[in-house]
Chain A
Amino acid sequence: MIGIRIPEPTVEVKPLSEDIRRSMLYKMLQIRYTEEKLQELFLANAIRGTTHLCNGQEGVSTGVAAALRKGDTVTCTYRGHGHALAMGMPLKSLMAEMMGRVSGCCRGKGGSMHMTDASLGLLGANAIVGAQLPIAAGAALTAQIEKTGNIAVSFFGDAASNIGAFHETLNLASVWKLPVVFICENNRYGEYTPQHLTTPVEDLSIRAISYNMPGVTVDGQDSEVVFAEFSAAAARARAGEGPTFLEMKTYRYRGHSRTDTGPYRPAGELEAWMERDPIKILADKMIAAGQLDQVELEELTQSVQREILGAVEWAQREPYPDPEELTRDIFYEG
């Protein structure tokens, strides 16, 4: 059995209210079963292109999104369905976008890797590794200059910590004391290659030191720990104390993209991480606190699955974009 090191929290992790727990559990189930359904639809060629699923990583996006405020902004990665749903993107909007329908969140122009929603402050998922970091810093600059009290968040993967954009942005954000939180979802693999073959340090949070910025390695599987560590970083940012780098140790159950089964994983690794499933961890806490039982969990799961199926069936009936859509939205004319 492969052992998983669980980082110690650096802040006090209080049990969240039953309402917040219930809402996070619902979101994690929604993300988990949306990803499962998308995989099924892809393999049946009901959705084209490719996709990058985040099953196993739901604790990070959900724990962070639960602590965001209206007005905060987010940039994220092409493994971004979870971020979008955690922030509150309607399932129908996401599903229609996945299927290239005009009623999708980007009118069918974005697809799986580019979910965007202005009404949620989701500046966009990004298919270019690391490109989203400076954009979040820019949104943070606006918040700083306009004194809105808002913060910006950028999600990225472990491999993005090797790209220039990461280093330029952490440097600039620190020296300008921008209200931004950098959230690295370290799922141990950059595409098909394990971290230790591409990256000379194991805990990526250590990289924050050279930018004179707090860097924390976090148990990304426990959404309450994520919530607590992120809340502390967000409070620092809102107080004008500058950025924080949070490295979330997590794991993706699926491969890098649609057809990847993950043959490069050591035997037992997937199973070990599934023992630390973020949904299970939160559900177990709720059951122990008398806030949930197995029957309720099953009912909630089924209700989420019905909701997803409803969104799929709805999206499949939605129209494709007209040919005129091709040349629309090149320049804003207003």
Chain B
Amino acid sequence: MAQMNLLEAIRQGMDEEMEHDPRVFITGEDVGPRGGVFRVTQGLFEKYGPTRIIDSPLAELSIVGVGIGAALADLRPICEIQFADFIHPAMNQIMNEAARMYYRSGGTWTVPMVIRAPYGGGVGGGLYHSQSVEAFFAHTPGLKVIIPSTPYDAKGLIKSAIRDPNPVLFFETKKGYRLIKGDVPEGEYTVPIGEARVAREGSDLTVYSYGMMAHYAMQAAERVSQTDGIEAEVVDLRTLLPLDTKTVLESFKKTGKALIVHEDNLTMGFGAEIAAILASDGFEYMDAPIQRLCAPDIPGVPFSHPMQDYFMLNPTKIADAIRDLAAY
């Protein structure tokens, strides 16, 4: 079993898929010899050459649009958006074209593509290099939206995403790229899209999260277990769309208390959907008001580092919220 970080796991997953399927290629800004700004594609240009690792213009609309056309015509593109904040110029291509193509063509054209984008704050990036944008896409039927929090899941899910015959958005916590490390087994495996994972079992309450915040939620759960004897179950959603409502509800039936944690801002965030599902389908199991711990509703992650700290969640803030909910 090899230890690797999140970034290396994603790279290895893409590398393996490129090895066994010659239709897979990567395009995006500086993905070639540079290896991407975060070095996720490092070494792949040397291995696969310029026809499979293709540097693109700094123009997200066309990166995604070209990916859609290539996917329609047989290839398996992986389009890298350098920062999730830069995905907005490509919104029309993703929402109007990729997501709707299979439906609008009456089930004849499929768009088997992956769009990867590093998301999230805590790295001093300021308003346009720190965004969490998953809620826009999770509201778009026809897309699949994945946000892994461990190297094991990241590798298994990027492989599933590349093999999936539908458009998949794959968001990667940039803060966690090198921070999050874990075991990744030798040899072939995949992680199915659409399945949440009970990352930690507990009986007092459930923390629902994904990505970097799922990683922090695990730390917070361990901390309150040691300091307060509170046993929090942690459900790592892994896939937001399609959502594994079964696992979400099963955990709630067991604990009756829900704390939903995401780095994206509160209002109309993904947590609202989880809360709605628990309220409508888990009402009789509810022992406490459903809690959401999310970023404040402000236009962006401010630059000044103390302000960034006010904005960002961390294990301490999550642990405090767990204690509050457990005490209800």
Contact = CB atoms under 8 A, between A and B. Distances in A.
B92 A146 contact: no
Interface stretch (A164-172, A284-292, A301-309): A164-172
A276 interface: no
Contact of A110 (B61, B62, B64, B104): B104
A139 B57 contact: no
A104 B106 contact: yes
Contacts of A332: 102, 107, 110, 165-166
B227 interface: no
B71 interface: yes
A146 B59 contact: no
A225 to B, nearest CB: 28
B186 to A, nearest CB: 31
Contacts, number: 146
A276 B36 CA distance: 54
A3 interface: no
B70 interface: yes
Interface of A: 73, 75, 104-110, 114, 116-118, 123-124, 126, 128, 131, 133-143, 145-146, 152, 164-165, 168-169, 171-172, 175-176, 328-332, 334
Contacts of A138: 65-73, 77
Interface residues of B, number: 41
B105 A118 contact: yes
A141 B65 contact: no
Contacts of A116: 104-106, 108-109
Contacts of A175: 57
Interface string B28-58: 0000000000000000000000010010110
B102 A329 contact: yes
27 contacts: A106-B108, A109-B104, A109-B105, A116-B105, A118-B108, A118-B109, A123-B73, A123-B109, A128-B97, A131-B65, A135-B65, A137-B62, A138-B67, A138-B69, A138-B71, A138-B73, A141-B70, A145-B25, A145-B75, A146-B74, A146-B75, A152-B73, A168-B62, A330-B102, A330-B103, A331-B166, A332-B102
A198 B104 CA distance: 31
Given A168-B61, A330-B141, A139 B72 contact: yes
A124 B108 CA distance: 11
Closest 8 CB pairs of A and B: A138-B69, A134-B65, A107-B106, A142-B73, A329-B107, A168-B62, A138-B66, A135-B69
